[in-house]
Amino acid sequence: MTKEPRVGVGVLIFRDGHVLVGRRLGAHGKGEFALPGGHLEFGESWEDCAKREVEEETGLQLSNLRFETAVNSVFGDTAHYVTIFMRGEADQVAEAKVLEPDKCESWIWVPWLSIPQPVFLPLQLLQESGYHPFRHALQD
């Protein structure tokens, strides 16, 4: 079987300086904290993928979707993703629900600099890339 890289979309949602992360179940990265997200489908825009995955996984409806950055996520010999990080805004009071309990244990809002360990590889690479979510705070 030919192994090929796939495209993964991770979604950054901030609320009062906190980011939404979930503890993964099943698949790879079990027990690790990750952003909501999933596979880009054939013909889908990054914006639509981000909105769809977040709605499927949390019920949150996103607006103002924008591209932040990308990383190259090589999971050893097992998987290779080009991860597109999108950012979106959710209603300030809407609750993030666990809509796929087989895939995510719980959703928590945590300060960007205090995401609990262990962290899912794409998110770890984002942290290491020097990405800073509030650098443009004055423009936002």
**Among ligand 8DG, Mg ion, none, what does residue 33 contact (CB within 5–8 Å per kind)?**
none
Burial of 25 (0-12, 13-18, 19+ CB in 10 A): middle
Q: How far is the CB of 62 from Mg ion (least distance, A)?
A: 14
Identify residues 40-99 at the interface with Mg ion (CB under 5 A). Answer: 53
Q: What b/e string do you get for 97-123 counting C-beta neighbours within 10 Å, with b at 16 or more?
A: ebebeeebeebeeeebeebeeebbbbb
Q: Yes or no: say if 99 and 13 are a contact pair by the CB < 8 Å rule.
A: no
35 binds ligand 8DG (CB under 6 A): yes
Identify residues 89-128 at the interface with ligand 8DG (CB under 6 A). Answer: 103, 122-123
- Contact residues toward ligand 8DG (CB under 6 A) are 8, 10, 27-28, 34-35, 37-39, 53, 73, 81, 83, 103, 122-123
